[in-house]
């Protein structure tokens, strides 16, 4: 095989590959191409009627023609969508909400931003250290709770009436407090006792 034959064969393969790609591209966009051709044909006709003068009347007629083609296509698709499966997916709408990791992630980001905002206000001198610490601790507890839920697979209980995620997390915190046997009014424990209580909480949480 000579080099020129090789070269010719290579070029032939390139053209064939390009043609195939074009054919594949066009096959997936038949309707769009047809609509585009229809629009172009309409524009040519409009320009011909206007003696090839592109003035304001011709421009608005062309825009009107695009609107007609677009409306026709969209209404056809709307009719098809109502009547039949177009994408093979089930008809039931998957609920957006609490079973989704994305929603938990969003809530966590909101809490992180809130913590940063509180820290910023503290640095600006608007908030006292005591107030800032208090708020940050509660936000941190909630954020940690989300991390735990996410680590466990993100399958928080989905409620049919769409209870907001922050209230669900709040309930989670209270539920774990109840499991840990922490009473409503807690006095500041001694460090050793606090460590023992924390260890007990983790154990009971792991076993539940």
Partner 1 sequence: MPESSALSIPDSPVAALGSISLLAAFLVAAYACAAGAIGNTQRRRRLVQSSVTALYGFTAIMGLASALLIYAFVTHDYTIKYVAHYSDTSMPLAYKITAYWGGLDGSLMFWVSVLAGFSAIAVRTNAARHRDMIGYVVAVVMVVQLFFLALLIYNKNPFATTLTAPPDDGKGLNPLLQNYWMVIHPPSLYTGYVAATIPFAFGIAALLSGRLDDQWLSSVRTWTFLCWFFLSFGLILGGRWAYEELGWGGYWAWDPVENAGLLPWFTCTAFLHSCIIQEQRGMMKAWNLTLVIITFLLTIIGTGLTRTGAVQSVHAFGEDNALALLFVLFLCAILAASVGLLLYRLPRLRSAASFESFISREFAFLLNNWILLACALFVFFATMWPTLSEAFIGDRITYGPPFFNQWMIPLGLVLLFLAGAAPLLAYRRTTRDRLFNQFRLPLGAMAVTIAVLAIAVPRTRVTTSIFHDDLRLPLSLVNFGIIAFTLTSVVQEFWRGMQVRAKQTGGGKATSLIGLVFAKRRKYGGYVVHVAVAIMFFGFAGKAFEGMKDFTLQKPGETFDYRGYTFRFDGLWAPSSRSDENKEVAEAQVTLMKDGEELAIMHPARFRYAKEPDQPTTEVDIVSYLEEDVYMVLTGFSQNPNRSPKEVNFRVYINPLINWVWLGFFFLALGTMICLVPQQWVDRMTPGRKSRLGRLGEAALLLLVAGGILVGSARMAMAQPPDPRSQLEHKDPNQASGLSHNQAAAHIARPDDPAYLAPYRTRLMAALKKENPGIADSELKSKVALGLAPVVEITKQAMAKLVCMCGGCTRETVYECKCSVAANERQKVLAMMARHDLLDPDQRRAAYDEVVAWYTARFGGEHALIVPEKETSGRIGWMVPYVMVLGGLGLLYAVGRRWVKRGRQGMSERRDAVAAAEQLENEDYADRLDDELRDTD
Residue list 91-150, contact with partner 1 (CB under 8 A) = 91-97, 108-110, 112-118, 120-121, 123-128, 131, 134-135, 137-138, 140-141, 143-144, 147-148
Q: Is 182 in the site for partner 1 (CB under 8 A)?
A: yes
- Based on the shown chain and the rule CB under 8 A, indicate whether residue 164 belongs to the binding site for partner 1: yes
d(CA 108, CA 84): 39
153 lies in the site for partner 1, by CB under 8 A: no
Q: Rounded distance, CA 113 to CA 150, Å?
A: 18
* CA 175 to each of CA 72, 153, 159, 160, 164: distance values in angstroms, whole numbers, following the listed order: 56, 19, 17, 20, 17
Q: What span, in angstroms and rounded, lies between the C-alpha atoms of 52 and 58? A: 9
b/e code 96-134 from CB counts within 10 Å (16+ = b): ebbebeebbeebbeebeeebeebeeebeeeebeeeebee
Q: How near is the Cβ of 1 to partner 1 at its closest, in Å?
A: 47
Among the residue ranges 1-9, 15-23, 25-33, 83-91, the one whose residues contact partner 1 (CB under 8 A): 83-91
Residue of 4, 28, 53, 185 that binds partner 1 (CB under 8 A): 185
Residue 171 interacting with partner 1 (CB under 8 A): no
Q: How far is the CB of 188 from partner 1 (least distance, A)?
A: 7
Cβ 27 to partner 1, closest distance in Å? 22
Answer yes or no whether residue 175 interacts with partner 1 by CB under 8 A: no
Class of residue 142 by CB neighbours under 10 A (exposed 0-12, middle 13-18, buried 19+)? buried
Give dist(CA 45, CA 169) in Å, integer: 64
Cβ proximity to partner 1, 23 vs 93, nearer residue: 93
- Judged by CB under 8 A, the number of residues near partner 1 is 82
Is position 26 an interface residue for partner 1 (rule: CB under 8 A)? no
Query: What distance, in Å, lies between the first and last C-alpha atoms of the chain?
Result: 75
CB of 155 to partner 1, least distance (A): 18
- The answer to whether 186 contacts partner 1 (rule: CB under 8 A) is yes
Among 1, 48, 82, 190, binds partner 1 (CB under 8 A): 82
Count of residues making up the chain: 208
Interaction of residue 173 with partner 1, rule CB under 8 A: yes
């Amino acid at each position: 095989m000579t080099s020129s034959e090789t070269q010719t064969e290579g070029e032939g393969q390139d053209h064939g590959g390009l043609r195939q790609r074009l054919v594949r591209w066009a096959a997936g966009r038949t309707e769009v191409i047809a609509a585009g051709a229809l629009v172009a044909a309409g524009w040519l006709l409009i320009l011909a009627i206007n003696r090839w003068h592109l003035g304001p009347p011709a421009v608005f007629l062309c825009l009107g023609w695009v609107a007609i083609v677009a409306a026709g296509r969209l209404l056809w698709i709307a009719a098809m969508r109502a009547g039949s499966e177009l994408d093979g997916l089930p008809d039931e709408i998957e609920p957006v909400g609490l079973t989704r990791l994305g929603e938990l992630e969003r809530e966590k980001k909101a809490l992180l931003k809130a913590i940063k905002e509180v820290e910023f206000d503290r640095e600006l001198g608007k908030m006292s250290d005591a107030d800032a610490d208090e708020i940050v601790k509660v936000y941190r507890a909630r954020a940690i709770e989300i991390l735990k839920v996410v680590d466990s697979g993100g399958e928080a209980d989905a409620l049919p009436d769409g209870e907001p995620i922050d209230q669900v997390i709040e309930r989670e915190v209270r539920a774990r407090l109840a499991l840990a046997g922490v009473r409503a009014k807690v006095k500041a424990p001694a460090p050793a006792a606090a460590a023992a209580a924390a260890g007990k909480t983790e154990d009971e949480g792991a076993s539940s």
